[in-house]
Chain A
Amino acid sequence: MSNLSSLSFYIPELIIISAILLVIILDIIPACKKYTFYLSLGAILLAALFLWQSYGESHALFMGMISIDPFSHFFKMIFLLSTFSIILISRYEKQLDKSYSAEYNALLLIVLLGMFLMSSSINLIMIYLSIELVSIPSYILAGIMKNDKESNEASLKYVIFGSFASGLMLFGLSILYGLTGSTNISAVSSVLQTIDYPLTIYFPLILILVGFGYKISMVPFHFWTPDVYEGAPTPITAFLSVAPKAAGFAILIRVFYTMFTLDGIAPNSLPLTNINWPTLIAVGSAITMTLGNLLAVQQEDVKRLLAYSTISHVGFMLMAFAIISPEAIRAIMLYLFIYLFMNLAAFYMAIFASNKLNAHHIKDWKGMGKMNPILSFFMTLTLLSLTGLPPTAGFVGKVYVFAELFKHQQFYWLAVVAILNSVVSLYYYFKIVKSMYLDDVEGVIDKITAHPVVNWSIIIFSAQNILFFIYWEPLVGFIDKSISF
């Protein structure tokens, strides 16, 4: 589709772009500064409305640069939801310097735009550009607390790892272009199918995996994660742990299924002849979840613990990525969707704890069960969900991932590794529960209450656990409709 006629299918993104520009302009005018918050939220709602209306359409826009399809729509909804919630919650985070809130919101919106592009790129150049559009504002956001040493360290580490990984990925992409003479991924795919030398394909494949793997913090490209998560302001950590991860998975699924399989997302698709990348992913998945879990066990800092737990969850999702089938994509999307809620709820609880109690360590959460019984209850539910135990949605997500291995009768060893990992994860998640309820507290305990926005965010994001546990069929049905690109 030509550039001009593409624009009419590009309204959600155009709304976000105008919002970014408006926020920057409003920031200059002192009287209007305080409206940037409402403007950002309004733009996201508007974009969501247009996105919802156009759900189900499928077009290749801008002469084959990006593709608008149900698959990208699903992810875009996840991005909008998480960005909306993060902008909302950031207002009530005490760590953040509110005089930068306009820049902060603008940067978040830029990341949002980048993620929109990531989920719909079908061109090698767009892939690179969209990942950079997400990464560069993220570096700034991680270091937005200018006077905090750890925040600065986080930002610098993020930049160094990020630029190295994206450099390698760019190298991989350019090799693919050299091999095939095209930048469109389906055109690349059809040439790759005729190449008989596995090493020729393995080399760019692994380089691209480095770039994507860094984005989703797959081991061994995860080293930035704990430090960045610990140093960055908590809302940004929460954001980085869900939205760009979802974007990373979106682009990983689209690019690998299009370029490195024979039939794409058709039911009986297979990896390219002689290119056994699913096994590569399976091994990566086992290492990712095991390392993430084992390191999480030793953590005493809540944010760091959640950072490592994120890594192990990525390992779980990669487990389904090692199976090539539409149902495996469904399992990943379902897991991501549920994971979005449970991880955000856990991080919001960390925001609440650090706002009210200045608590960063697990032991500082002592007596939380009595200080705020309701939020503690929902936090327990969230942690139960992160462990993957019934009656929570996390359990449903896990069952779907495991079911894929059994349905395709592959990688049983990976299922055993994963199942043992979920036992390990119980131990460290319940260190928080133990601190909240079991540890003895001396003296009188004062009740603490959260700001209604924080309070209800936590409650809603963890109450979904019960809802999607009792009846998850419509959700899976919606995801099934969204698997098409």
Chain B
Amino acid sequence: MESSILTLLIFIPVAGAVLMLPFAKLYGKENVHYYKWIAAITTGIQLALAWILYQNFNPALSISESPFTVQIDWIKHFNIQYFLGVDGLSMPMVLLTALLSFICIIASWKIEKQALGYFSLFLLLDAGMMGVFLSLDFFLFYIFWEVMLLPMYFLIGVWGGPQRMYAAIKFFLYTLFGSVFMLLALLALYFYSDPHTFNLITLIHTVGNIDATIWGLNVKYLIWISLFIGFAIKVPIVPFHTWLPLAHVEAPTAISVILAGVLLKMGTYGLLRISYPLLPGEVVNFSYILAVLGVINIIWGAVNAIAQIDLKKMVAYSSVSHMGYVLLGMAAAISESPAGAQAGMNGALMQMFNHGTITAMLFLLVGMLYDRTHHRWITFPRDYEKPELAGLPGFGGLGAKVPVYTGFVALAFFAGLGLPALSGFISEAMCFIGGFSVFRTLTIIGTLGILLNAVYFLRAYQSIFLGPLNEKYKDLTDISRRELVTIVPLAIIVLFFGVYPTPLINMIAPAMDGIIKIVQSVI
């Protein structure tokens, strides 16, 4: 049981997707019910498995000691292995993926258009995401990384908004552009390391011995750059971020949640899983640039979010800003003070988890508003199709009409702007503490981001929920029970980890310490 749990986590969704086919044959494609339930049950099982995994997970054990590790030869003469494992770095990501997948299925309950396709693609996407977080063989990791792209292309392209086709292909091309460079890095790592291997654990020890040059440049340096391009596009790091607002806005609600909640984390996860342990020397050289990029992300994302009048686009840009904290925290791994390095790295991983839950709430809440009102303008644009509305506020005074909904929005917004006692605050503060121990000036500039975040969140809150009720929305209904199922678990997590983050820190700290030790050893 123990050694098969990781395999099950990945392949249960695949089984669910395959299971839909006989149902389609027997009951016809129009019977949406079956597909919804199959998807809900499979992701439910996945979530339960992830919980069992968490209950039995011992953060102190290394990958090789862990009872969950699976290592089987796949293609012998290329030395490719089916190598799965879980440690403190992947554990929170696995939980996040399982939780958000389940919630997103519930959030997609009203999908009627081609439900068979939607739910089966969603499950394949789920399998790909889980695979990325569990693979410890670089080749396997790359395959799962790429496998996600096609379902995502269709999920945006078929079920998305008005500009869905452009958004879908832009997302696909951008991510592929990044990942082909990762493929080059993968092959270079394989052929330059001795013995030739894709095993990410073995590579930690062998990459250090590489001493070769291509075009007069150190191979390790080039590998770092190639990997960085691949991961930076996924994070996304400014200026590679232009696919993000478009894809997030055009995608259906549940897919936006997955994009922002899980897919963005893969960029930083890749950096922490591959670039950091394998190329610590380059990490040390690049950490200043990483911190600069992080601060640019924080400021640029926030400033752009302020400029948005579309609520969903605002939330999308807030993700760019929030991922900047992760980069700043990661850059602090080179800190001379051990406490600073620990705060930065733990903060980065916690921020990945916390942002996943907070942004999921935000997108779900935006989706609920859109489902009821069919628009999400904070302020109608000046060239709006109905000229009588142009320039006017889109909503107003909803707070009194839909109090429960408003309460959740307040929670999500305040978590997003980093209010103490909510989970976002703790991880952001830790990223800043870590960053401050190395990059004083940069971190001080970065803290401006908190202020800017507050500006757009509070302004949107005020415009939509406060003031006199907009008469158009006097029949607005409050949050439904199904919607509560999606939002309450996230709200509980945000509150719980805001007050008591110790379980999360305990889970991740040993793995982060391991990475810090590798990085510090080359300074």
Query: Which of A's residues lie within 8 Å of B, judged by CB?
Result: 380, 384, 389-391, 395, 399, 402-403, 406-407, 409, 412, 415-416, 419-420, 422-423, 426-427, 430, 433-434, 437-439, 471-473, 476
Q: Are A406 and B173 in contact, CB atoms less than 8 angstroms apart?
A: no
B76 within 8 A of A: yes
Docked complex: B95-152 residues within 8 A CB-CB of A = 142-143, 146-147, 149-150
Contact, CB under 8 Å: B191 / A422? no
- Considering the complex, give the chain A residue whose CB is closest to the CB of B168: A438
Asked whether any CB of chain A lies closer than 8 Å to the CB of B169, the reply is yes
**Contact between B190 and A427 (Cβ–Cβ < 8 Å)?**
no
> Is there an interface contact between A437 and B75, defined as CB atoms closer than 8 Å?
no
Chain A residues closer than 8 Å to B176, beta-carbon distance: 389, 422-423, 426
Taking a contact as CB atoms under 8 Å apart, the answer to whether A423 and B177 are in contact is yes
Question: CB-CB < 8 A to A439: which residues of B?
Answer: 165
Do A434 and B165 form a contact, CB below 8 Å, given A419-B181, A472-B75?
yes
Task: Give every chain A residue within 8 A of B180 (Cβ-Cβ).
Answer: 419-420, 422-423
With A426-B172, A473-B77: A384-B150 Cβ-Cβ less than 8 Å: yes
**Smallest CB-CB A-B distances: 5 pairs:** A419-B180, A406-B191, A390-B143, A406-B187, A438-B157
Q: Mark B55-87, 1 if CB is under 8 A from A, else 0.
A: 000000000000000000001111000000000
Quick check: A473 and B214 within 8 Å, CB to CB?
no
In the complex, are the beta carbons of B157 and A391 less than 8 A apart? no
Apart from A399-B183, A420-B180, A438-B158, list 18 A-B contacts with CB within 8 A: A380-B150, A389-B146, A389-B149, A389-B150, A390-B143, A390-B146, A390-B147, A391-B147, A406-B187, A419-B180, A419-B181, A419-B183, A420-B177, A430-B169, A434-B157, A437-B154, A437-B158, A473-B75
B149 proximity list for chain A (CB < 8 A): 389
CA distance A395 to B142 in the complex (A): 11
Total chain B interface residues with beta-carbon distance under 8 A: 33
Query: Which residue of chain B has its CB nearest to the CB of A476?
Result: B77
Q: Name the A residues within 8 Å of B214 (CB-CB).
A: 409, 412
Task: Check if A434 sits within 8 Å of B169, measured CB to CB.
Answer: yes
B215 CB within 8 Å of chain A: yes
Give the nearest-CB partner of B114 in chain A.
Answer: A370
Task: Give chain A nearest CB distance to B376 CB in angstroms.
Answer: 23
A437: which B residues are within 8 A, CB to CB?
154, 157-158
Q: Tell me whether B173 and A426 are in contact (CB under 8 A).
A: yes
Most interface-central of A391, A395, A423, A430 (chain B CB within 10 A) = A423
- The answer to the question of B19 belonging to the interface, with a C-beta cut-off of 8 Å to chain A, is no
Residues of B within 8 A of A420 (CB): 177, 180
Judged by a CB distance under 8 angstroms, whether B188 is at the interface is yes
Q: Is the interface of B mostly helix, strand, loop or mixed?
A: helix
Q: Is the CB of B165 within 8 A of A407?
A: no
The residue on B at minimum CB distance from A400 is B78
A419 adjacent to B146 (CB under 8 Å)? no
What are 23 A-to-B residue pairs whose CB atoms are below 8 Å?
A390-B143, A390-B146, A399-B187, A402-B183, A403-B78, A403-B187, A403-B190, A403-B191, A409-B212, A419-B184, A422-B176, A422-B180, A423-B177, A423-B180, A426-B176, A430-B153, A430-B169, A434-B157, A434-B169, A437-B158, A438-B164, A438-B165, A473-B76
Looking at the assembled complex, report how far the CB atom of B129 sits from the nearest CB atom of chain A, in whole angstroms: 15
The CA of A457 and the CA of B176, in the complex, are separated in Å by 30
Question: Which residues in window 201-231 of B have CB below 8 A to A?
Answer: 212, 214-215
**Contact of B184 with A415 in the complex, beta carbons under 8 Å:** yes
- Report the bound CA distance from A419 to B215 in whole Å: 18
Contact with A along B156-199 (1 / 0, CB 8 A): 01100000110011001100110011011001101100000000
- Within the assembled complex, what's the spacing in Å between the Cα atoms of A415 and B186? 13
How many residue-residue contacts, CB under 8 A, span A and B?
73
Closest to B149 in A: A389
For residues 27 through 52 of chain B, which have their beta carbon under 8 Å from a beta carbon of chain A?
Answer: none
Q: Which residue of A lies closest to B165 (CB)?
A: A438
Nearest CB to that of A437 among chain B residues?
B158
DSSP class of A's interface residues: helix, strand, loop or mixed?
A: helix
Most B CB atoms within 10 A — which of A390, A407, A415? A390
CB distance from A393 to the nearest CB of B (A): 13
Residues of B within 8 A of A419 (CB): 180-181, 183-184
In the complex, what residues of B have CB within 8 A of residue A426's CB? 172-173, 176
Could you tell me the distance in whole angstroms from the C-beta of A411 to the nearest C-beta in chain B? Answer: 11
B-side contacts of A473, CB under 8 Å: 75-77
Cα–Cα, bound, A473→B79 (Å): 11
What residues of A have a CB within 8 angstroms of the CB of B158 in the complex? Answer: 437-438
B191 contacts A407, C-beta separation under 8 Å: yes
| Residues of the A chain whose Cβ atoms lie less than 8 Å from the Cβ of B168 | 438
**In whole Å, how far is A70's beta carbon from the nearest beta carbon of chain B?**
19
Interface string of B429-463 (1 = CB under 8 A from A): 00000000000000000000000000000000000
Q: A408's closest neighbor in chain B, by CB?
A: B191
Nearest CB in chain A to that of B177: its residue: A423
Contacts of A427 in B (CB 8 A): 169, 173
Q: What separation, in Å, do the CA atoms of A439 and B169 have in the docked complex?
A: 13
- Render B320-342 as a binary contact track against A, CB cut-off 8 A, 1 for contact: 00000000000000000000000
Least CB distance from B509 to A in Å reads 34
Contacts A406-B191, A423-B173, A427-B169; A416 near B184 (Cβ below 8 A) = yes
Contact check, A406 vs B190: say whether CB atoms are below 8 A apart: yes
Q: A31 to B190: give the CA distance in the assembly, Å.
A: 64
* A395 to B139 CA separation, bound complex (whole angstroms): 12
State the Cβ distance, A442 to closest chain B Cβ, in Å: 15
Expressed in whole angstroms, the Cα–Cα distance for A395 and B80 within the complex equals 15
Do A406 and B188 contact each other (CB < 8 Å), given the known contacts A420-B180, A437-B154, A438-B164? yes
> Is the pair B215, A412 in contact by a Cβ cutoff of 8 Å?
yes
Identify which of residues 302-330 in chain B touch chain A, using a CB-to-CB cut-off of 8 Å.
Answer: none
CA gap between A426 and B153 in the complex, in Å:
12
Could you say which residues of chain B place their CB within 8 Å of the CB of A422? 176, 180
By beta carbon, the residue of chain B nearest A431 is B169
Distance to closest chain A CB from B165 (angstroms):
5
Give complex CA distance A409, B214 in Å: 9
Task: Name the distance in Å between B236's Cβ and chain A's nearest Cβ.
Answer: 17
Residues from chain B with Cβ under 8 Å of A406 in the complex: 187-188, 190-191
Flag if B169 contacts A402 (CB, 8 Å). Answer: no
Expressed in whole angstroms, the Cα–Cα distance for A409 and B212 within the complex equals: 10
Cα A384 to Cα B214 in complex, Å, equals: 31
Contact with A along B271-295 (1 / 0, CB 8 A): 0000000000000000000000000
CA distance A422 to B77 in the complex (A): 25
Q: Report the bound CA distance from A391 to B165 in whole Å.
A: 23
Residues of A with C-beta under 8 A to B212: 409
B79 → A minimal CB distance (Å): 12
Q: How far is the CB of B2 from chain A (nearest CB, A)?
A: 25
State A128–B378 Cα separation when bound (angstroms). Answer: 74
**Closest residue on chain A to residue B160 by CB atoms:** A438
Set of chain A residues within 8 Å of B154, measured between Cβ atoms: 437
Report how far A395 CA is from B147 CA in the complex, Å.
Answer: 11
Smallest CB separation, B150 vs chain A (Å): 6
| Chain A minimum-CB-distance residue to B187 | A406
Q: Which residues of A contact B147 (CB under 8 A)?
A: 390-391
**Cα(A390)–Cα(B214), bound, Å:** 28
B208 to chain A minimum Cβ distance, whole angstroms, is 19
Residues of B within 8 A of A412 (CB): 214-215
Instruction: Report Cα–Cα, A412/B188, bound state, in Å.
Output: 10
Min CB gap A366→B, angstroms: 12
Min CB gap A168→B, angstroms: 36
Residues in chain A near residue B142, CB distance under 8 A? 390
What is the minimal beta-carbon distance from A134 to any residue of chain B, in angstroms? 34
CB-CB under 8 A from B181, the residues of chain A are 419
Q: Closest residue to A420 on the B side, CB-wise? A: B180
B27 to chain A minimum Cβ distance, whole angstroms, is: 16
Closest partner residue, chain A, to B169 (CB atom):
A430
| Complex interface bits, B492-511 against A, C-beta within 8 A gives 1, otherwise 0 | 00000000000000000000
B413 to chain A, nearest CB (A): 34
Report how far A427 CA is from B78 CA in the complex, Å: 30
B201 to chain A, nearest CB (A): 22
Q: Name the residue of chain B whose CB is nearest to the CB of A469.
A: B143
Q: How far is the CB of A431 from chain B (nearest CB, A)?
A: 9
